Amino acid sequence: MKIKRVEHIAIAVHNMAESMAMLQRTLGLELDYEEAIGSANLAMFPVGETSLELLQTDDPNSPITEWMTEHGQSLFHLCFEVEDIDAALDELRAKGVKLRDETPKEGHGGSRIAFLDPASTGGIVIELAELPAGHD
Protein backbone atom coordinates (compact mmCIF):
# COMPACT_ATOMS: atom_id res chain seq x y z
CA MET A 1 0.00 0.00 0.00
CA LYS A 2 1.36 3.38 -0.94
CA ILE A 3 0.37 6.16 1.43
CA LYS A 4 0.94 9.45 -0.35
CA ARG A 5 0.33 11.89 2.53
CA VAL A 6 -1.87 12.83 5.44
CA GLU A 7 -4.81 14.06 3.37
CA HIS A 8 -6.72 15.63 6.24
CA ILE A 9 -7.19 15.74 9.99
CA ALA A 10 -10.86 15.71 10.97
CA ILE A 11 -12.24 17.55 13.97
CA ALA A 12 -15.78 16.92 15.22
CA VAL A 13 -17.39 20.24 16.18
CA HIS A 14 -20.55 21.38 17.95
CA ASN A 15 -21.04 24.55 15.92
CA MET A 16 -19.71 24.65 12.36
CA ALA A 17 -20.08 28.43 11.90
CA GLU A 18 -18.24 29.25 15.14
CA SER A 19 -15.46 26.75 14.42
CA MET A 20 -15.01 28.03 10.86
CA ALA A 21 -14.86 31.62 12.07
CA MET A 22 -12.27 30.67 14.71
CA LEU A 23 -9.97 29.04 12.11
CA GLN A 24 -10.32 32.04 9.82
CA ARG A 25 -9.99 34.72 12.53
CA THR A 26 -7.39 33.10 14.78
CA LEU A 27 -5.20 31.18 12.35
CA GLY A 28 -5.93 33.05 9.12
CA LEU A 29 -6.93 29.84 7.34
CA GLU A 30 -8.99 30.10 4.16
CA LEU A 31 -11.96 27.88 3.42
CA ASP A 32 -11.45 25.62 0.40
CA TYR A 33 -15.00 24.22 0.25
CA GLU A 34 -18.04 23.09 2.24
CA GLU A 35 -19.98 19.93 1.49
CA ALA A 36 -22.79 17.80 2.88
CA ILE A 37 -22.38 14.02 2.73
CA GLY A 38 -25.33 12.14 4.16
CA SER A 39 -26.12 13.71 7.52
CA ALA A 40 -22.65 15.23 7.93
CA ASN A 41 -21.63 18.76 7.02
CA LEU A 42 -17.95 19.36 6.42
CA ALA A 43 -15.65 22.29 5.76
CA MET A 44 -12.11 21.88 4.38
CA PHE A 45 -9.29 24.27 5.26
CA PRO A 46 -5.99 23.59 3.45
CA VAL A 47 -2.79 23.77 5.48
CA GLY A 48 0.12 23.02 3.17
CA GLU A 49 -0.46 19.63 1.53
CA THR A 50 -2.92 18.61 4.25
CA SER A 51 -6.31 20.00 5.27
CA LEU A 52 -8.22 20.46 8.47
CA GLU A 53 -11.72 19.05 8.06
CA LEU A 54 -14.47 20.28 10.37
CA LEU A 55 -17.38 17.86 10.79
CA GLN A 56 -20.81 18.50 12.26
CA THR A 57 -24.05 16.52 12.26
CA ASP A 58 -27.46 16.65 13.91
CA ASP A 59 -28.03 12.91 13.34
CA PRO A 60 -28.19 11.17 16.73
CA ASN A 61 -27.14 7.86 15.10
CA SER A 62 -24.06 9.23 13.36
CA PRO A 63 -20.56 8.03 14.32
CA ILE A 64 -19.73 11.73 14.72
CA THR A 65 -22.45 12.13 17.37
CA GLU A 66 -21.29 8.95 19.09
CA TRP A 67 -17.73 10.28 19.15
CA MET A 68 -18.75 13.69 20.48
CA THR A 69 -20.90 12.12 23.22
CA GLU A 70 -17.84 10.27 24.48
CA HIS A 71 -15.03 12.73 23.67
CA GLY A 72 -16.65 16.13 23.12
CA GLN A 73 -15.47 18.49 20.42
CA SER A 74 -12.10 17.04 19.45
CA LEU A 75 -9.89 15.30 16.93
CA PHE A 76 -12.09 12.69 15.21
CA HIS A 77 -9.90 10.90 12.66
CA LEU A 78 -6.80 10.93 10.49
CA CYS A 79 -7.18 10.48 6.74
CA PHE A 80 -4.36 9.10 4.62
CA GLU A 81 -4.38 9.48 0.84
CA VAL A 82 -3.61 6.21 -0.94
CA GLU A 83 -2.93 5.55 -4.62
CA ASP A 84 -5.29 2.58 -4.92
CA ILE A 85 -7.90 2.14 -2.19
CA ASP A 86 -9.05 -1.27 -3.42
CA ALA A 87 -5.50 -2.65 -3.27
CA ALA A 88 -4.97 -0.98 0.13
CA LEU A 89 -8.08 -2.66 1.57
CA ASP A 90 -7.00 -6.03 0.13
CA GLU A 91 -3.56 -5.64 1.72
CA LEU A 92 -5.04 -4.67 5.08
CA ARG A 93 -7.45 -7.63 5.02
CA ALA A 94 -4.51 -9.95 4.28
CA LYS A 95 -2.75 -8.50 7.35
CA GLY A 96 -5.80 -9.27 9.50
CA VAL A 97 -6.83 -5.63 9.92
CA LYS A 98 -10.53 -5.21 10.67
CA LEU A 99 -12.36 -2.75 8.43
CA ARG A 100 -15.44 -0.64 9.13
CA ASP A 101 -15.94 -0.35 5.38
CA GLU A 102 -15.33 -3.53 3.38
CA THR A 103 -15.74 -1.60 0.13
CA PRO A 104 -15.02 2.06 -0.60
CA LYS A 105 -17.85 4.59 -0.46
CA GLU A 106 -18.21 8.11 -1.80
CA GLY A 107 -16.42 10.71 0.29
CA HIS A 108 -15.41 14.35 0.31
CA GLY A 109 -14.63 16.07 -2.97
CA GLY A 110 -15.56 13.04 -5.06
CA SER A 111 -13.04 10.78 -3.33
CA ARG A 112 -13.46 7.08 -2.58
CA ILE A 113 -13.03 6.42 1.14
CA ALA A 114 -13.01 3.61 3.69
CA PHE A 115 -12.56 3.55 7.45
CA LEU A 116 -10.49 1.03 9.40
CA ASP A 117 -11.93 -0.47 12.57
CA PRO A 118 -10.33 1.27 15.59
CA ALA A 119 -10.07 -2.16 17.24
CA SER A 120 -7.20 -2.81 14.80
CA THR A 121 -5.55 0.61 15.13
CA GLY A 122 -5.12 1.10 18.86
CA GLY A 123 -8.37 3.06 19.13
CA ILE A 124 -7.40 5.62 16.48
CA VAL A 125 -10.03 6.28 13.81
CA ILE A 126 -8.26 6.08 10.43
CA GLU A 127 -9.75 6.86 7.04
CA LEU A 128 -8.18 6.02 3.69
CA ALA A 129 -9.01 8.15 0.65
CA GLU A 130 -8.33 7.75 -3.04
CA LEU A 131 -8.78 11.15 -4.65
CA PRO A 132 -10.38 11.50 -8.08
CA ALA A 133 -8.13 11.66 -11.14
CA GLY A 134 -6.83 15.15 -11.80
CA HIS A 135 -7.18 16.28 -8.19
CA ASP A 136 -4.32 18.55 -7.16
Edge-to-edge strand ranges of the sheet holding 126-130: 33-37, 40-47, 50-57, 3-12, 74-82, 126-130, 112-115, 105-106
pLDDT surpasses 80 at 67: yes
User: Which residue pairs, CB below 8 angstroms and at least 24 apart, start in 33-42?
Assistant: 33/109, 35/108, 35/109, 37/106, 37/107, 37/108, 40/64, 41/16, 42/108
- For 26-55, what is each residue's pLDDT tens digit? 999 999 999 999 999 999 999 999 999 999
Rg over alpha carbons for the chain, rounded to the nearest Å, is 15
- The chain-wide mean pLDDT, for the chain, equals 95
> Model confidence at 133, in pLDDT bands (50, 70, 90)?
confident
Q: Is the pLDDT of residue 135 over 70?
A: no
The whole-number pLDDT of residue 134 equals 72
Q: Which CATH number fits domain 3-130: 3.20.20.140, 2.60.40.10, 3.10.180.10, 1.10.10.60?
A: 3.10.180.10
pLDDT greater than 60 at residue 136? no
Question: In whole angstroms, what is the distance from residue 19 CA to residue 117 CA?
Answer: 28
Domain ranges of the chain: 3-130
